[in-house]
Structure 1
Amino acid sequence: MYFGILIALVPLCIGYLIKLNEPNWITKINQTLSWMVYFILFIMGSELARLDNLTANLQIILFYTGIIFLCTFGGNFIFLILIERCFPSQASSTVQTYESRFKMILESLRVCIALALGFVVGLLPLFIWQYSEDITKVVLVFLLLLIGIQLRSNNISLKQILLNKVGIVTTIIVVISAFLGGIIAALILDQPIHVGLAMSSGFGWYSLSGILMTEAHGPIIGSTTFLNDILRELSAIILIPTLIKRYKFTALGLCGATSMDFTLPMLQKGAGVTIVPPAIVQGFLLTLIMPIFMTLFNYGIA
């Protein structure tokens, strides 16, 4: 139990203690993280290919994904829209177009291609698969170390976080409603409550959530968590143009951890620069707490 917690939290904390001011190094770290994401998804795909009773397990994964997505993303949507109806936000005065939305969807689908490629290669009887668990642990530690450095290098001070009430409020709503959805999904799927809570605590960070859950519960739960989080990102991209005019903070909340990076341009295009600070704070907080919550649910209260 303690090893599982330490392997996730220690590299993240060590990385967060390292602050880089050189733009070239920050760029290299960002590029390395991008390639590592694809490598991790490749490994996940290979593990999925080596499951016993593959066809039956794929049906289970898709069923689990449908339930957890409806419960968590649906819970986020209901809570956010109700609260925003009670406390309506100012609509953006600028009407924007989203010609690049299809391109962003294709970018998201690239991660699915990496997973599919790993699945195909995993069907081959290669000797290296016997070391896949060790490789996964090494990659996970290095990934978390770089993520910690990346978070610290974003120059977001504690004062900036504490003063941005909107970003904090949307983060709290997303976390609470996702956890409630995770509990409901666990009851429906006849899974332990802590597993449902862990699956619901990815907040859209599909690359890390998938590998953490695969490490703790195997490829079925890991793949379910990955698909749930990639569906969140895709759904947010599709819904932002529809929601942003009347329910901009609902659109923000649905983005989850991706509001700090991938979906930020779409949010800014629809709601203007006023949404950028809460979007960055929400993404930063969810990115920071995601591995903590998921690890604690996987190992701390199991």
Structure 2
Amino acid sequence: MYSGLLIVLLPLALGYCIPCRSQSILHFINVSVARMVYLILFLMGISLAFVDNLAAHLGTIFTVCLVFLTCITLANLAGLWLLDVRRGRIVGERGAPVISKWSLLLDSVKLCLVILAGVMLGQFLDPEWFMVDTLSEWALMLLLLLIGIQLRNSGMKLRQILLNPWGLTIALVVMVSSWGGGLAGAWLLDMPLSHGLAFSSGYGWYSLSGILISDQLGPVLGSAAFLNDLARELVAILLIPTLMRRHPSCAIGYGGATAMDFTLPVLQRSGGVAVVPVAIVSGFILSLAGPVLILGFLSVNT
């Protein structure tokens, strides 16, 4: 499993070492990352189709997803609520562009449909000649290389991160409370504790957590991890407007890694520009930590 950790860290680190000042190239990379996510999820669907007696495993997928989502959500919101008790509320700003919540939810539905399309195609493919695991591995390495380039050229400097204690604290609270929820979920499901910690370290990054856990633990648990982090993103979209005024740390932190991209427009609309640097710092740290922690925990035999 340590070789799997190297496969993740090497392209991510290599990409982070590549500076890029061309806006056209960065735009191409951003578009490519979005397309690669769809490709990886499609391959995950094909891999899921190769599971013997798939219908019998659907109950397991949804049960594991529901248990971990519930435990991690409760732990995250409890930890972030305590942080808000110390900080107090913020005053939101008006005038931010209105983002359709339904359009964001539709994007998530599309991701599920991509996996479903992969499952349907997989029914007609022979697993003996269609090397889906190898293709998924290469696609993942390319995705991580591009993500490394994105992170390097996101404009976030180490000094900016260290000088934003609120963002750092939110990321730390999300990490620790997620581990608590993951341990509780593993205990309830009678799973190895290290697997529960891995499940809790996706922080909403569904494409990454799904493919990494699928590669190490099989497509059934990989699909459960994907649904867990996708559902976290959907819940975040619904909760952010309600939580922002009284519990801003909860609103920013529950989105996890998505606070620097997918849920950022919702955060800005609800909390104003003041929360944007905090959200980016928190999401940036969780994005860097996610792949390392997932494979690190999976490498531990518990």
Alignment of 1:118-157 (within 5 A): 118-126=118-126, 130-157=130-157
Q: Does 1:169 align with 2:174?
A: no
Q: Percent identity?
A: 42
1:5/1:300 contact within 8 Å kept: no
Alignment partners' CA distance in 1, 2:133 and 2:77: 36
Residue equivalent to 2:241: 241
Alignment partners' CA distance in 2, 1:219 and 1:272: 40
Residue equivalent to 1:187: 187
Q: Counterpart amino acid of 2:77?
A: F
1:91/1:248 contact within 8 Å kept: no
Q: Does 1:70 align with 2:70?
A: yes
**TM-score using structure 2 length:** 0.96
Q: CA deviation at 1:97?
A: 8.6
Q: CA deviation at 1:290?
A: 0.5
Any idea what SS the aligned residue of 1:112 has? helix
Question: Structure 1 residues 181 and 161, CA, compared in 2 at 3 Å: closer, same or farther?
Answer: same
Question: Structure 1 residues 24 and 96, CA, compared in 2 at 3 Å: closer, same or farther?
Answer: closer
Any idea what SS the aligned residue of 2:20 has? coil
Q: Counterpart amino acid of 2:114?
A: A
Q: Counterpart amino acid of 1:100?
A: S
Gaps in structure 2 of 5+ consecutive residues: none
Alignment partners' CA distance in 2, 1:210 and 1:99: 27
Q: CA deviation at 1:127?
A: 6.1
Alignment partners' CA distance in 2, 1:98 and 1:253: 21
Number of aligned residues? 302
Alignment of 1:14-53 (within 5 A): 14-53=14-53
Residue equivalent to 2:291: 291
**TM-score using structure 1 length:** 0.96
Alignment partners' CA distance in 2, 1:300 and 1:161: 30
Q: Counterpart amino acid of 1:159?
A: R
1:89/1:249 contact within 8 Å kept: no
1:204/1:258 contact within 8 Å kept: yes
Q: CA deviation at 1:128?
A: 7.5
1:91/1:247 contact within 8 Å kept: no
Question: Structure 1 residues 142 and 93, CA, compared in 2 at 3 Å: closer, same or farther?
Answer: closer
Residue equivalent to 1:217: 217
Q: Does 1:6 align with 2:11?
A: no
Q: CA deviation at 1:106?
A: 0.7
Alignment partners' CA distance in 1, 2:208 and 2:88: 34
Residue equivalent to 2:55: 55
Question: Structure 1 residues 74 and 235, CA, compared in 2 at 3 Å: closer, same or farther?
Answer: same
Residue equivalent to 1:80: 80
Alignment partners' CA distance in 2, 1:182 and 1:137: 25
Worse overlay, 193-202 or 48-57: 48-57
CA RMSD of the aligned region, Å?
A: 1.6
Q: CA deviation at 1:249?
A: 1.7
Q: CA deviation at 1:46?
A: 1.2
2:240/2:251 contact within 8 Å kept: yes
2:210/2:223 contact within 8 Å kept: yes
Alignment partners' CA distance in 2, 1:245 and 1:128: 55
1:11/1:141 contact within 8 Å kept: yes
Q: Counterpart amino acid of 2:211?
A: I
Q: Counterpart amino acid of 1:257?
A: A
Alignment partners' CA distance in 2, 1:4 and 1:62: 26
Q: CA deviation at 1:301?
A: 5.4
Query: What are the Cα deviations for residues 52-89 of structure 1, in whole angstroms up to 9, with x where unaligned?
Result: 12122010000000000001122111211233134313
Alignment of 1:226-237 (within 5 A): 226-237=226-237
2:93/2:270 contact within 8 Å kept: no
Q: Counterpart amino acid of 1:124?
A: F
Any idea what SS the aligned residue of 1:92 has? coil
Alignment partners' CA distance in 2, 1:9 and 1:256: 20
Worse overlay, 75-84 or 193-202: 75-84
